[in-house]
Amino acid sequence: MITRSHCSPLLAIARVALVVAVTTGVAACGDDPSDQAEDTDAATTTSPSDTTVASSPGDFPVDVEYAGTTITIGESPSAIVSLSPTATEMLFAIGAGDQVEAADAFSNYPAEAPTTDLDGNAPNVEALLGYEPDLVIVSFDPGDVVSGLESAGVPTLVLGSAVTLDDTYEQIDVLGQATGHTSEADALNDDIASDIAELVATVPERDEPLSYYHELDDTLYSITSSTFVGELYGLAGFASIADPADANGDAGGYPQLSAEFVIAADPDVIFLADAQCCGQTPETVGARPGWGDLRAVQAGNVIAVDEDIASRWGPRVVEYLRVVIEATKSIDTGA
């Protein structure tokens, strides 16, 4: 993806991560690389995954392994710097919020997060060291941040964008181990898995999935079913109209569509993740040439979603899935 100045800062993070992933031949989603998503049907029974830890949970020093890298944390961290809005949400959700000394400029949730002007898109080692951190969390490494922090003796976790729900569970687990909140992390994962299972159980059965178009910005970038958000849509009984546009995965699950493509696909529902960044509304969509006759527009199924929640893979995935499933119900009832 290409970063655009008028788009959500969080989507910009996602696009930077995608560029890194594509150039290394790895598919990505949201704000970093991981493995390609598995069949979304399998996600209905997904459960929190395990991560290797050398020490007992809650004991320090602790060796934490993630994505093939192991870091050693000598003592329970009390001055964490988070350059990932998703990680910030996770830290507060597991009870480690009071250990967060500083968070990046886009960490706007929860309200008590210590947001600063730190730039997660262009991390600066000197700026980070100014907070005297004992743990730094980033969503990607532009090439010299992790090594610079390691030289200064600061352990750094790189928690890239999730591609599956298992990635979310694993990152929460990792943060629990790194902060001494393993039991809280386990409980949070159990709650997320339980809430998702309950929501999925309410999805009406149908012979064919409903079709959707998820709009990332007003230049018609979208997502496929292979992305993290695409997996959530799959759990809700949806299939992306963008799948054929990235059948070979060259776009990493984030193809740019054309107006003609969307019109020809005629999706059942349109989800706008560009209402905040780009001023898009059901009215502006309906006013686009040729879009007024789309079934989603005609049925009132153009839905503006919170682009922060839509671009993060933390605990609020449950909220997003609930919005998507409610949209499904409105179609089934003719509302």
Reading phi first (left if > 0) and then psi (alpha if -120 to 50, else beta), residue 200 is in: alpha
Average pLDDT score over residue span 310-322: 96
Average pLDDT, the chain: 85
Average pLDDT score over residue span 59-83: 95
For residue range 96-109, list pLDDT tens digits in order.
999 999 999 999 99
- Find the DSSP H helices in the chain: 9-23, 85-93, 125-129, 145-151, 165-179, 182-200, 228-235, 259-265, 275-278, 282-286, 295-298, 307-310, 317-332
Average pLDDT score over residue span 275-294: 96
What per-residue confidence (pLDDT) applies to 142?
A: 85
Judge whether residue 332 has pLDDT over 80.
Answer: no
**Residue ranges of domains in the chain, CATH in brackets:** 205-332 (3.40.50.1980)
The model's confidence at residue 1, banded by pLDDT at 50, 70 and 90, is: very low
